[in-house]
Structure 1
Amino acid sequence: MDVVNFLDSILRYPLEQLPFYLITLVIAFTVHEFSHAYFANKFGDPTAKLLGRVTLNPAVHFDLLGTILLVIAGFGWARPVPVNRDNFSKPRLMGVIVSIAGPLSNLLLGVVGTLIYVMLAQLGALDSITNDKLLEAIFLFFNLFNIMNFFLFLFNLIPLPPLDGYRILEDIVPRRMLGKLQQIEHWSFLIFVLILIIPGLQNYTINPLYRAAQAMYYQFAELFLMLFGA
């Protein structure tokens, strides 16, 4: 087996799509983590700002292992933004807002990306492109960018640590339940590993999220097409 075929066999996406996929991840992860850091700092916690995380510089948010897993398995992570809820005037409410800011930023990226793509198509901007490879590259990028951001929105709302959905759950459940909830934290990594290595398990976990993300993309595209009168 040559190198190209080997890479194709282990990657979540075909090798020729990998550059678009990596660009998408850099943008999606950077905006996601920046959103956490921005709102945490806005609500009075300077922890992320002191560490230089209130920035759109991708280098400070990049996590090598998390990115590799996302490329191979379809799920992964960036460097988590440290948040000290004790600095918030309303720790639970502001904690929820800080946690949900990341997934909502991916939702916004997906919506804006879909709007831009529909506008380019409807305004005829793509009709003037005669290079088939360039046209295909634009199509691949927007489809990957939009679907992946919708996927990250859904994926990060799963209530398993260390995902944002779990942090939101921590802030909304009664305090007496926090101890029991935190007992499952050390099992989360094992759960993700099992999803990765057990054949067929992704068909019931990760793949439905991708299908839901695709459905969101198509629904928003149809909505914008209606708004443009197409």
Structure 2
Amino acid sequence: MDFDLSALAYTASIWVLPVLLAITLHEAAHGFIAWSYGDDTAYKLGRVSINPLKHIHPIGTILLPLLLIVFKAPFLFGYAKPVPVATHRLRRPRRDMVYVAAAGPTANLILATISAVLFNIVWLLPDAPAMWLAQTLKISIIVNLVLAVLNLLPLPPLDGGRIAVGLLPISLAVPLARLERYGIFILLAAFFLLPYLGRELGLSINVFDWLIRTPVNWMLPFFSSLAGMTEALRL
């Protein structure tokens, strides 16, 4: 397979910063809220930090996204080292875990908003850096919205699953919590295996479109308007 190295380098350059910031602030937010509610586990490990090196997972944060970019995958997928939370050390474990889980997606929505606001002033820079920063901010908006929506899916170990476990009656929360060890496999099967099987059977089964692309595209006109763009972004 032939690669245009200069084009690949440029593509990587406009993706690296948004992905690192999105993942870093997402995980740091979990650690900060856990710390504020009584669990200092992440704080003692240095995970309440905006230093990306504290959160980078060599495969999930670097190798996997890079491979998806190189092979022009239809969407980007990645993850960081999970922030450890000792639930029993939280003041009110079931309630406080909802806040800890919600902190990650909230951080991504805030970062998407900041990226949109900054887009309004990017054109004050000279042309070349302005164009590069504009592309980077566009990607930052999309990456953060995708990460927020993905993590709000009600499937443990995603944040949405942990929020659901904290809010549902015990009779429903317990069986949902038991899915945590299988959650990542369910997610990967839904996003990769089901579409493949669908194509083999002549069916259109695109779980990513249904669960991620549709809600993100529903939100993008608002963020595009906030950024002062004449045309709304699309995922």
TM-score tier by shorter-chain length is: 0.7 to 0.9
Counterparts of 1:177 and 1:147 in 2: how far apart (Å)? 33
How many pairs are equivalent?
Answer: 212
* CA contact 1:147–1:210 (8 Å) conserved in 2: no
8 Å CA contact 2:56, 2:81 repeated in 1: yes
TM-score (ref. length: structure 1): 0.80
Q: CA deviation at 1:15?
A: 6.0
Letter in 2 for 1:136: M
Tell whether 2:19 aligns with 1:25: yes
Aligned to 1:39: 33
CA distance in 1, matches of 2:213, 2:76: 9
Structure 2 residue 144 is matched with structure 1 residue 163: no
Aligned to 2:222: 219
Once residues 219 and 203 of structure 1 are traced to their aligned partners in structure 2, the CA distance between those partners, rounded to angstroms, is: 28
Greater shift in the superposed pair: 196-205 or 22-31: 196-205
Q: Does the Cα contact within 8 Å between 1:109 and 1:149 map onto a contact in 2?
A: yes
1:92 and 2:94 matched: yes
> 2:132 matched to which residue of 1?
137
Would the aligned equivalents of 2:18 and 2:140 in 1 still touch at CA under 8 Å? Answer: yes
Q: Deviations over 1:48-70 (max 9, x none)?
A: 11211111111111112222334
> Which amino acid is 1:115 matched to?
V
CA contact (8 A) 1:74 1:206 kept: no
Q: Which amino acid aligns with 1:28?
A: A
- Aligned partner letter, 1:83: V
Distance 1:130-1:183 versus aligned 2 partners, 3 A rule: closer
Secondary structure at the counterpart of residue 44 of structure 1: coil
Can you give the 5+ residue segments of structure 1 that lack an aligned partner in the other structure? 8-12
Give 3-state SS (helix, strand or coil) of 1:97's partner: helix
Structure 2 portions without partners, runs of 5+: 69-74, 230-235
Q: Which moved more, 1:109-118 or 1:75-84?
A: 75-84
CA contact (8 A) 2:39 2:87 kept: yes
User: 1:29 is paired with a residue of what secondary structure?
Assistant: helix
- Could you list the per-position Cα deviations for residues 168-206 of structure 1 after superposition, in whole angstroms to 9, with x for gaps in the alignment? 111111123333213433432322332234437897332
The offset of 1:221, in angstroms, is 3.1
- Tell me whether 1:146 sits opposite 2:149 in the alignment: no
Superposed CA RMSD: 2.7
